[in-house]
Amino acid sequence: MTLNFVRDFSQPEDYFLCKYDDIDGAKPISSFEFYIQTKHIPLPFYNIERWKRIEEALEWIANVGEALTFFDFKTKFLSYLNFSAEPDLSVIASLFNQDSTAYFNKRILSSIARLALELPKQIKQPIRALRKEENGSLTLSQLQIASLLANAFYSTFTARNFGEFNRINFIRLFTRKTPKAAEKLKCILHYFYQFFKNPPTGTVSIIRQKLNCELEPKWDEIECPLVNLNALPNGRIENEGEKMTQVDFANEFIGGGVLGYGLVQEEIRFLICPELIISCLVCEKMEKNEAILIIGAERYSDYQGYGSTFCWKYRQRDVSSQRDAMGRVLSELLAIDALNFSHPLEQFFEGYIRRELRKAFIGFATRTAWSFDQIATGNWGCGVFGGDLHLKSLIQLMAASLACRPLVFFTFGKKLFAQELEETVKLLREEGFTVGLDKPWLSVHFLVAPSGMRMDFPNPDEGKKIPKYYRSLPDENKNKR
């Protein structure tokens, strides 16, 4: 038994703001929809009086070019924003004080302002929000995304007065109070620099998929063979996971703290591929039975370090990347959010295990006609969220097996765990174990062999966490989210 949810972009809930052809690239298309507050994203130019103030400020910044001063930038920037106290813009101020790059930075800031002003020309129909508990997709051109992100950079968006969404305005990146804000801003500016240098003409699609109750797998009854798992102690999902569907260890608010304090796996991915940030604008908070798949976002930057040691590194965008018939680069990012376990033993109770199985399965089962077979994943939810490596690896193995998609598991430097995991899965496959879950008494059982042998997770009330088929492994280095 295998299950997959193949999206072909032919349903009424598949929403397009552009079309694509190989010669002219992506262009906006017209629509007969009208703006509805609880259905569409409020765009900056919908408020005519406020947009006039924005236009006046950004036109001045766009036209002044290298003559731009920080005082003038701050004055114009704050002219359309309502703050009771003047915000700290010290990171932006530093762009004007760096002798080697000040000229470049001023021109980039002017170009971003000019791009932001193009929004009414680029977005000719309302942008439908991807609401929770609703299947849907949204396809935008990379030019439309760039213009939207330029407005986010200048913080022109107003609150979405419905639902629960992540923040989209960039103003928090302009303050030293946000850790590593300067490095984050370098990623954003480098994206815009490469966009202006050689504008991409493709598209990006954001797919939201839910798992209906009637389609939820009966984990107690399933007899599905285990897929292959290749565990790699070294390498990164975004590098060595090429030509695989790559997992984003997501926050329930997609993007997490990319525009705030966060700087771990998800935030870093959004910084090196800034087109992903547009999902923060259109995607409502994920529910327990939902996943988000983003197709076609390009990579613009490299990096070194992690968290407090993160630093931007130069990278050239690959302009020769292969595209599909819709103009999308062949890249897939799968966002699934793990539970946060402040009390780690709770994750071994069946209700929580079923929740994580549901989340991983709906993510792994969501695909398009050309989606890669392999899934690149790793220590999902095992950093600040307190997840157990052994448990989460088996949960992902079960979900991938039901979706019939092999796993490439990146352990981020944990060599012993990588070896143990790969050997364990190999043994289970050789012995004919299948996916299954039941809960007699207080033991939680995962993998059921044809002979009736079981692989047990001991009773969490006894304080034990290690499955029988795993040796006790040292904590080689701190887990990463």
Residue ranges for the known binding site for substrate are 251, 265, 306
What is the C-alpha separation between 111 and 106, in angstroms, rounded?
Answer: 9
The DSSP result for 264-305, as a single string, is SHHHHHHHHSGGGGHHHHHBBPP-TTEEEEEE-PPP--EEES
Based on the residue annotation, tell me whether 298 is a catalytic residue of this protein: no
Q: Are 296 and 328 in contact (CB under 8 A)?
A: yes
3-state SS class at 139: strand
User: Which residue of the set 248, 275, 332, 356 is catalytic?
Assistant: 248
Could you tell me whether strands 407-410 and 229-232 are parallel, antiparallel, or unpaired per DSSP bridges? parallel
Alpha carbon distance 198, 196 (integer Å): 6
Measured distance between the N- and C-terminal CA atoms of the chain, rounded to whole angstroms = 31
Q: Are 431 and 449 in contact (CB under 8 A)?
A: yes
Q: Which of 366, 266, 399, 415 is nearest to 407 (CA)?
A: 399
| Contacts with 476 (C-beta within 8 Å, 6 or more apart), sequence order | 413, 414, 415, 416, 417
CB neighbours (10 Å) of residue 103?
12
Q: Which of 183, 238, 252, 267 is catalytic?
A: 267
What are the structure tokens assigned to 452, written together?
Answer: 């009736």
Give the closest residue to 245 by CA, choosing from 328, 324, 318, 331.
331
CB 332 within 8 A of CB 182: no
Joined tokens for residue 241: 């996971």
β-strand partners of 5: 366
Helix (H, G, I), strand (E, B) or coil at 480: coil
Torsion of CA 372, 376, 381, 386, to 10 degrees: 160
Indicate if 164 belongs to the active site.
no
Q: In 10 A of CB 435, how many CB atoms? A: 24
* Catalytic status, residue 248: yes
**Residues sharing a CB contact under 8 Å with residue 153, sequence separation 6 or more, in sequence order:** 112, 116, 170, 188, 192
How many whole angstroms separate alpha carbon 319 and alpha carbon 378? 29
Q: How many angstroms separate the CA atoms of 73 and 75, rounded? A: 6
| Spatial distance between the Cα atoms of 450 and 444, rounded to a whole number of angstroms | 18
CB atoms inside a 10 Å sphere around CB 160: 18
Q: Under a CB-based contact definition with an 8 Å cutoff, are residues 345 and 381 in contact?
A: no
| Options 183, 266, 298, 420, the catalytic residue | 266
Neighbours of 141 (CB within 10 A): 25
265-272 vs 181-197: helix crossing angle, rounded to 10? 30
Q: Which residues are catalytic?
A: 248, 266-267
